Amino acid sequence: MSGSGTNVNLDQAIGSLPVPLSQRNWGGLLAGAVSITAGVATWSFVVGGFTANYVDARMGTAAMLAGGLISQFLISLAQIPPVTKYGLETVTTTKPQLGTRGSAFALFVQYLTLIGWNCVLIIFLGRAIGASLVQLGLITAEIQEGVATAAAVLTTFGIWVLLLMGAEGLKYTGVVVAIGIFVIGTWMYVLLVQTYGVSAIASAKPVAPLPQGRLMNYSVALEVLLVSTLGWWAYMGSMFRMVGTASKAIYPSMGSLGLGWAAVGLIGLYAGLVVGQPDPTVWIVEIAGPVAGVGVLTFVILSNLGSALVGAHAATLGFGQLPAVARNLSWASKTFAVLIPMFIVEMFFSTAFYDNIGTFMAFIGIFIAPIVGVQIVDWFAFKRIHRLHVPSLFRHDRRSCYWYLGGFNIVGMLSLALGALTYVLLLDPVTFVPNSDIVQYTTASLPSVVVGGLAYYIGMRLFGDLDPEARLKQ
């Protein structure tokens, strides 16, 4: 089942089993580099541009940075303790809360989040390559679409090759991409400020604010970053299970996935306000010419490839939780199987997928908020972080103390449903139009986290099995 020989990488050897403490050897800087690689991609500019609809530069800067930090704070509490203490990947950490079989729902949410976003990134990358080749006169517009598709497919194949290296591939790619992101991101800021000036950026008005007033728009702008940042939950295990102490993990988590990705997103905010176009592959070429577009293309390739690689790695670890997969597929087969939907979407459904990705992702995001609330309560209020029975996380039958009722922790599942319902009642996740005036004081993600966590706390106290690990001692 596992690989053999001197060159077997860690993921080939252990798959989705815990990383032994002796091999959790990533320091804070490396974890930070890999995190910023995952966090920064063209989605940063999309989110920044979306925020420009609601608020100006000052309010947008505050809302984006604060939203990133608040959500990443919650995700850090939910994921860093189990992931760094026991070397677990993300889906595994949900088994005590959702049950051995119930965690399949977490796998479903994680997989759709990771592969859905990967499709967006690689389709975008393919289109950017096609557009750049046309601008440089290397291809004609007639074959641009075909070239974009081919570029996307080839890039996905390249991701598979890099994935064969497992966590080692993340390490090498992460450092290179992080440096590239920092250099080119700084250049974009300088170009924007030199071309338009700080005054013009600061005085630019929001593009399409809601009619409900300044506070509501501020709150919705905050919500954009809260719900977007919650998506990092799906990535945490893949990266931070390689770090051996929680202390080393919190700084890269907050610095890269909380602050870093939002800071790059500010480029999209300012460009959206002052240029009316957050996409740097458009506005940079307009102000600095096609050669500058090559610089942007480099950024797009590095950042999107890096994020997609981390996402695919996390998806493979989650997919490996399925018993049939864990026992029968090699690391190479698992990684390829995880990427098959990407190949299909890129070749046959790229336009339809790209045009409807907002709808798709919004409904994925509303389930992650209550998952975070449930996990925080479980680790800290019920103190399960200290008595987690790790072997039970990898048993898929009654031998697991997290079997509960037929493999499901009903309280956990219902808590997710209540948290998701809370979100939808407060805010339409597709249009981002508030359904209630209370959103201006609460946002929608934060009540969803609280309701999920509170429902889990009350439900487990009244109806749940608070100490299934004790049965094993008996």
Partner 1 sequence: MGVTQGETIAAENSDLDRKIDFLAFEPAGTDLTDFDFKMLALTGIVAPALLLLWGWA
Judged by CB under 8 A, the stretch of 28-36, 81-89, 110-118, 291-299 that binds partner 1 is 81-89
Q: Is 78 in the site for partner 1 (CB under 8 A)?
A: no
- The helix (H) or strand (E) run that includes residue 349 is none
CA distances from 145 to 133, 332, 350, 365 (A): 11, 30, 10, 30
Are 76 and 254 in contact by the 8 Å Cβ rule? The answer is yes
Q: Is 59 in the site for partner 1 (CB under 8 A)?
A: yes
Structure tokens at 132: 């750049």
Judged by CB under 8 A, the stretch of 142-150, 162-170, 240-248, 266-274 that binds partner 1 is 240-248
**Residues recorded for the chain:** 474
Q: Is 247 in the site for partner 1 (CB under 8 A)?
A: yes
How near is the Cβ of 117 to partner 1 at its closest, in Å?
23
Q: Is 87 in the site for partner 1 (CB under 8 A)?
A: yes
Among 3, 23, 28, 62, binds partner 1 (CB under 8 A): 62
Q: Is 39 in the site for partner 1 (CB under 8 A)?
A: no
- Closer to partner 1 by Cβ: residue 339 or 439: 439
CA dihedral 44, 47, 52, 56 (to 10 degrees): -70
- The helix (H) or strand (E) run that includes residue 108 is helix 103-135
Are 129 and 56 in contact by the 8 Å Cβ rule? The answer is no
Q: Is 251 in the site for partner 1 (CB under 8 A)?
A: yes
- Closer to partner 1 by Cβ: residue 73 or 360: 73
- Closer to partner 1 by Cβ: residue 81 or 318: 81
How near is the Cβ of 14 to partner 1 at its closest, in Å?
9
Among 70, 310, 345, 439, binds partner 1 (CB under 8 A): 70
Judged by CB under 8 A, the stretch of 83-91, 96-104, 139-147, 199-207 that binds partner 1 is 83-91
Are 344 and 119 in contact by the 8 Å Cβ rule? The answer is no
Residue 408 phi/psi, 5-degree rounding, is -120, 135
Q: Is 237 in the site for partner 1 (CB under 8 A)?
A: no
Q: Is 72 in the site for partner 1 (CB under 8 A)?
A: yes
Among 99, 244, 320, 447, binds partner 1 (CB under 8 A): 244
Among 12, 84, 132, 335, binds partner 1 (CB under 8 A): 84
Among 21, 193, 340, 381, binds partner 1 (CB under 8 A): 21
Q: Long-range contacts of range 273-277, CB-CB < 8 Å, 24 or more positions apart?
A: 273/52, 273/56, 273/57, 273/60, 273/201, 273/204, 273/205, 273/206, 273/207, 274/192, 274/196, 274/200, 274/201, 274/204, 275/196, 276/207, 277/49
Q: How far apart are CA 357 and CA 120, in angstroms?
A: 8
CA distances from 207 to 50, 227, 274 (A): 9, 21, 10
Residues that bind partner 1 (CB under 8 A): 1, 17-18, 20-21, 24, 58-63, 65-67, 69-70, 72-74, 76-77, 80-81, 84-87, 218, 222, 244-247, 250-251, 254, 258, 326-327, 385-386, 389-391, 394-395
